[in-house]
Amino acid sequence: MSKKLPIGVLASGSGSNLQSIIDHIEQGRLDAVIRVVISNNPDAYALTRAKKHGIPFVVIRHQEYPDREAFDGQMAEILLSYGIELVVMAGFMRVLSPQFLKAFPQRVINIHPALLPSFPGLHGQQQAFNYGVKFSGCTVHFADDGVDSGPIIIQAVVPVLETDTEDSLAARILREEHRIYPQAIQFYAEGRIAIRNRQVKIKDLQEFDVPAIHNPPLEGF
């Protein structure tokens, strides 16, 4: 049996990506173990998910700390006490401080509901939809001291349909999030990720030539 990667999950909301990670672990498809879930929101449904699956969880209210560094320091202390090797942000609505990132160098990942570097920050799906792009999607990336600006690990592309609403597009993007986030964690668990400058390289990847996709489809061209 391969070694299980100890991960800590940071979540502020419903935790649907947390649930996907839990499901993949329980199905034996992801070589990881969630040691702790941390939330800054005591009402986050992610905590209910953790409790249901017997995963330890901790609530840390950021309002109770004098500054971001103090809050992040407490989070880092808890994660280190659980022996966490990879920190997974799953809808965590806080920007991490440089102090926190130094405690986990190149060991913090995030998922964003847009094709970075386009449409960073809040409401990535809405930004893309309102801009009128023909393709959107989602991105798993390493966290750095910017906003959604770290090296990209994996992306999924979702076409924007003529009949799409913002909600229908967001739902299709979310389905892809639930696929690529466990895959990114598995790449990390297998020791297959290497960062060269800003480029993330996946070792022993079976590549194949994928034809271009057009939206709307070409008609005779």
Beta strands in 63-144, from DSSP E residues, in sequence order: 86-89, 108-112, 135-142
Cβ atoms within 10 Å of 134's Cβ, excluding its own: 12
Q: Which of 112, 123, 178, 214 is catalytic?
A: 112
Helix (H, G, I), strand (E, B) or coil at 167: helix
129 near 166, Cβ under 8 Å? yes
Helix (H, G, I), strand (E, B) or coil at 81: helix
Active site residue 112: yes
Measured distance CA(14)–CA(23) in Å, rounded: 15
What sign for the dihedral angle of Cα 81, 142, 129, 163? negative
Report the first-to-last Cα separation within the chain, whole angstroms.
Answer: 52
Cβ atoms within 10 Å of 113's Cβ, excluding its own: 23
As annotated, the active-site residues are: 112
